[in-house]
Amino acid sequence: MSAHTSNPEQPRPPSGFSPFIRHAASILAMVVFITIGLLFLWEMKTLILVIFLAILLSIFLRWLTDHLQQRTPLKGLWALFTVVIALLAITAGAGWLMAPAIATQVEAIREMIPQALNELQTWVAQTSAGPRIFAELGDLDPARFLTNEVLGQLGGAFAGGINFLTNAALVFVVGVYLAIDPETYKRGLIHLIPRHYRPRAEIILDVCTHQMIWWLLGRLLAMAAVAVIVAIGLWALGIPLPFTLGLIAGLFSFVPILGSIVSFLPAALVALLIGPEFILWAGLVFLGAQAIEGNLLTPLVQKRFVSLPHALTLISQVIGGILFGLVGVTVATPLAVLLMALVNMIYVEDILGDTTPYSDLVEKLHAL
């Protein structure tokens, strides 16, 4: 054999870097890429939350469209178009009928606030802790709240309102487009997942969609019930502006727990105009509305999906508020419902091999 013949088993010369250095460099590069990705997601957090709301809207529109197609000859885009037009007509009609009365009552509430603050000041002054409270805070003079600093913040509030309307329009447009052909986006998402896990991923997506639609239907039912109960209860007590306060309570009930607490504040101020004891009666009305919603209506909906424990609901809202502000509080609960489903099905069931309530839910969905 020629001396110039190369040996195929001859080892390659060393690259100059030890395996430890190459491994450390790989880990460092991974950490850098993950950090950049997290920073990008943080900068885009508002847009991501808006897109999540659009997905939630599209799921609701698709659910309505599917039911309309099952019960009428309308199919495809015509069914979706009918659903969207019907929802817009209902919203516009309700606004046209209720807006004048609501505007009048909101203006009345605004005019009542100074009087309510004076009543609160008088009531607090009669308590043993009143002098110490006023020593710390000073008098509750309404004129103190109309300082240049507060008035200057009105411009920021106006800009925030414009931003809210812009985001609402984006949610509506994106939600409608997603509802037109959701299977296209679902297939695209499935193709990003390894081939061996795709059948399971489709099941997980179906469960997540089921969770979202029934959580949303449950919230809408709770909002309507709370609005009616609070309005009737405040009207029976003789508290002014009961229907506007009931509407506020219903709208804020979209956010469980915290929404109910915040919606009680304007009702308490208005109740104070009649007497301090009416704050207690108004509080009982709100507690009764929450009891009926939590013990009668919510269990009916919970039969259709896996609900979120109350402690996790409150924790998710606090975290969402700290990280993302008002929008975070709004979407915290549905996001927590979604994350709980993903953790249970991917980690607890697929990795740990344990069973969860979602296993029974999958069987029920397959039986439909």
Q: pLDDT tens across 197-239, in order?
A: 999 999 999 999 988 998 888 888 888 999 999 999 999 988 8
Rounded Cα–Cα distance for residues 188 and 186 (Å): 5
End-to-end CA distance of the chain: 75
Most confident of the following: 40-49, 85-94, 160-169: 85-94
Confidence band for 14, pLDDT divided at 50, 70 and 90: low
Q: Any residues with CB less than 8 A from the CB of 358 and at least 6 apart, and which? A: 207, 306, 341, 344, 345, 349
Q: What percent of the chain has pLDDT over 70?
A: 77
How far out from the chain centre does Cα 314 lie? 12
Q: What is the pLDDT of residue 31?
A: 85
How far out from the chain centre does Cα 316 lie? 10
Task: List the one residue out of 273, 310, 272, 270 whose CA is nearest residue 290.
Answer: 310
For residues 253 and 115, the model is more confident at: 253
Q: What is the pLDDT of residue 134?
A: 55
Q: What is the pTM of this model?
A: 0.74
DSSP single-letter state for residue 129: T
Q: Any residues with CB less than 8 A from the CB of 128 and at least 6 apart, and which? A: none
At residue 75, the 3 state secondary structure works out as coil
Task: List the one residue out of 160, 157, 298 whose CA is nearest residue 221.
Answer: 298
Q: What is the pLDDT of residue 154?
A: 45
Q: What is the pLDDT of residue 255?
A: 84
Q: What is the pLDDT of residue 358?
A: 87
Q: What is the pLDDT of residue 205?
A: 92
Q: Any residues with CB less than 8 A from the CB of 356 and at least 6 apart, and which? A: 344, 345, 348, 349
Q: What is the pLDDT of residue 21?
A: 80
Confidence band for 150, pLDDT divided at 50, 70 and 90: very low
User: In one letter, which amino acid is 57?
Assistant: L
Q: What percent of the chain has pLDDT over 90?
A: 21
Model confidence pLDDT, tens digit, residues 259-279? 888 888 888 888 877 777 888
Mean pLDDT estimate for the chain: 80
Q: Where are the domains of the chain?
A: 105-123+182-367
